[in-house]
Amino acid sequence: MSSSFLPRRTVLQGALVAAVTAFNPVSRSWASEVQSGSIPLPTLDGQLLLDDATRTQAADDYGHIISRKPWAVLVPGSVQDIVKMVRFARANCLRIAGARGVGDDDESHSTLGQAQVAAGIVIDMSGLSRIRSIGATSAWVDAGVRWIQLLTATVPQGKSPPTLTDYLELSIGGTLSVGGIGGQAFRSGLQVDNVLELEVVTGRGELVCCSPLLNPTLFNAVRGGLGQFGIIVGARVRLVSVPPQARTFTATYTSLPAFLADQKKLDDDGRFDYVEGSVVTAADGTRTFQLEAVKYFAPASPPNNAALLAGLAFVPGSAQTADSSYLDFVNRLAPLVAFLKAQGLWGLPHPWINMFVPQACAAEFVRFVLDNTPPAEIGQDPVLLYAFRPPKITAPFVRVPEGAHAFLFALLRTANPGTPQNVAALMAKNQLFLDRLNQLGGKAYPVSQGPRTPAEWREHFGVRWLEFASLKRVFDPDNVLTPGQGIFP
Ligand SMILES: Cc1cc2nc3c(=O)[nH]c(=O)nc-3n(C[C@H](O)[C@H](O)[C@H](O)COP(=O)(O)OP(=O)(O)OC[C@H]3O[C@@H](n4cnc5c(N)ncnc54)[C@H](O)[C@@H]3O)c2cc1C
């Protein structure tokens, strides 16, 4: 549990949790004693929080756009608590979903209520955040462990998960439920492609271990399964050896086709360990493209800068380098996030859009989006644009374009002012882009704006839809899990 949240909850526990012992399925309310018609609550190792402040926090997320208040928040004290509450929810027609955290400083990083549950139970996964063991090639963790927590433990041993998200405060269970992309994905695939075993509480309320060999159908369903088939409670995550230092190269491009071609080239020749890029908007509205490529190294054998930059078409003289420790590199967003929080910008609405764009139409589509995005609509917010390789992705329900290469293109908007009108206008613009992307064979990365209705999800999953829907009936037959995605409302 997050230390910032602990004291208030502890105070509340005695006052509220102890008083509630039953649920009345007819009046749909909690009761202080088991009366005729009410169902006793299971005995828990953790807490079921019913106070308004906690439920209000669980109705929020990083997006600050959608708000659905649950009836309760479970802070599990054990995996068995999740088993019991999923069974309880199933028996009483309640909905339930996992979330990275619940609290001002410990929130879900979804942007449109994907981890929220109206009239149901949110599981605050930060209650299960123990690193169970670290071995030579893998680590077993509770699903509520954050990536930074794991890295802080493994990097001193010279180990790291191969693919990391840019931001490391995300929960391992949360990113394994969506995909988990970063600048190493061109080489190692997504985070879902680097998990070796999972422990899952299915929508039937059964605790099941799964892997490519043991219960592979569940394993494949849950990786990138958007919380529809089970709550991930534990994961064995792949670790690789990493050198202690990282050299970051940045370089500017004025030509979009040249930038995209070099990204593809770097994915193919593998000279760097990490490749990302972004669109930069200058104060006068001029747009350029910035390559960000990183080579890990040991101090005794530093990288050869000239060899690494050879043959790339960036603007001559624009290349720069900076060295840091590996951990500081992968955790590079921490100072920026602290700054955004201090400025109050973290708490503004975030009508984000993350898109997977086919390589064949990348230049045309990026140009279309930029031509329709005046500088005032994106400000200094990051616009990510980098290549990855779809054939590296093994999780069937992570939908990406066909082809050897594709691009992540993300408009990470902050609505400022955060008025409903501004948010609505930016979301309408996002929808315009999504509609065009769909026509071109691209896919939304559903961590932000994307499919929201069953019909849109059916289109999103395409040839995988029938399999997705039939596995839902197998693993969550009463449709208990994760309604906030809008797939099976
Ligand atoms: C600042 C920031 C930076 C980001 N950077 C990246 C990035 O670089 N790469 C990238 O791929 N994504 C990135 N994301 C998106 C992120 O991966 C998603 O928001 C994702 O949902 C993980 O966030 P979370 O751990 O807060 O999970 P939540 O938002 O709490 O949950 C995500 C979904 O999974 C479900 N869920 C949560 N935990 C579990 C569980 N244990 N079992 C089953 N279902 C569960 C939830 O109900 C919800 O539907 C970023 C988001 C933010 C806000």
pLDDT of residue 93: 93
Helix 256-269 to helix 362-371 angle (10° resolution) is 140
Residue 460 lies in a domain: no
Residue 415's nearest CA partner among 428, 405, 402, 404 is 428
Q: Do 81 and 135 fall within a single domain?
A: no
Specify the CATH number for the domain of residue 215. Answer: 3.30.465.10
Residue position matching structure tokens 């994961």: 235
Q: Do 100 and 161 fall within a single domain?
A: no
Residue 176 lies in a domain: yes
pLDDT of residue 9: 43
Q: Which of residues 199, 217, 242 is at a domain's end?
A: 242
Residue 405 lies in a domain: yes
Structure token digits, residue 268: 């193919």
User: Is the CB–ligand 1 distance for residue 164 below 6 Å?
Assistant: no
User: Is the CB–ligand 1 distance for residue 97 below 6 Å?
Assistant: yes
DSSP-derived pairing of the beta strands 72-75 and 240-241: unpaired
Distance 419 CA to ligand 1 centre (A): 25
Distance 115 CA to ligand 1 centre (A): 9
User: Is the CB–ligand 1 distance for residue 482 below 6 Å?
Assistant: yes
Q: Give the span between the Cα atoms of 119 and 228, in whole angstroms.
A: 18
Q: Which atom of ligand 1 is nearest to the CA of 166?
A: 8
* H/E segment holding residue 471: helix 465-475
Residue 458 lies in a domain: no
User: Is the CB–ligand 1 distance for residue 222 below 6 Å?
Assistant: no
Run means of pLDDT, 10 residues per run, the chain, 489 residues: 35 46 85 80 94 94 96 96 97 92 80 94 96 98 97 98 97 97 98 98 98 98 98 98 98 98 98 98 94 98 98 98 98 95 93 98 98 91 97 98 97 96 98 98 97 97 98 98 96
Q: Which of residues 57, 92, 127 is at a domain's end?
A: 127
Residue 453 lies in a domain: no
User: Is the CB–ligand 1 distance for residue 125 below 6 Å?
Assistant: yes
User: Is the CB–ligand 1 distance for residue 354 below 6 Å?
Assistant: no
User: Is the CB–ligand 1 distance for residue 116 below 6 Å?
Assistant: no
Q: Do 237 and 326 fall within a single domain?
A: no
Q: Do 279 and 427 fall within a single domain?
A: yes
Q: Do 287 and 415 fall within a single domain?
A: yes
Residue 314 lies in a domain: yes
Residue 35 lies in a domain: yes
Q: Give Cα separations from 152 to 296, 402, 459 (angstroms).
A: 17, 36, 40
DSSP letter assigned to residue 402 = S
Domain residue limits at 123:
6-127
DSSP-derived pairing of the beta strands 131-134 and 353-358: unpaired
User: Is the CB–ligand 1 distance for residue 224 below 6 Å?
Assistant: no
Structure token digits, residue 102: 């619940």
User: Is the CB–ligand 1 distance for residue 231 below 6 Å?
Assistant: yes
Specify the CATH number for the domain of residue 270. Answer: 3.40.462.10
Q: Domain total for the chain?
A: 3
Q: Which of residues 209, 242, 275 is at a domain's end?
A: 242
Q: Do 341 and 218 fall within a single domain?
A: no
Identify the three-state secondary structure at position 332: coil
pLDDT of residue 244: 98
Q: Do 164 and 297 fall within a single domain?
A: no
Our mutation pick for probing the ligand 1 site, out of 128, 190, 229, 447, counting the most ligand atoms within 8 A of Cβ, is: 447
User: Is the CB–ligand 1 distance for residue 76 below 6 Å?
Assistant: no
pLDDT of residue 8: 37
Residue 227 lies in a domain: yes
- Residue 46's DSSP bridge partners are none
Distance 182 CA to ligand 1 centre (A): 13
Q: Which atom of ligand 1 is nearest to the CA of 170?
A: 25
- Residue 141's DSSP bridge partners are 131, 235
User: Is the CB–ligand 1 distance for residue 175 below 6 Å?
Assistant: yes
Distance 323 CA to ligand 1 centre (A): 29
pLDDT of residue 19: 59
Helix 454-461 to helix 465-475 angle (10° resolution) is 120
Residue position matching structure tokens 């770097």: 266
Residue 388's nearest CA partner among 275, 477, 269 is 275
Burial class (CB in 10 A: 0-12, 13-18, 19+), 276: buried
Helix intervals (H) in 194-331: 216-222, 256-269, 305-309, 326-330
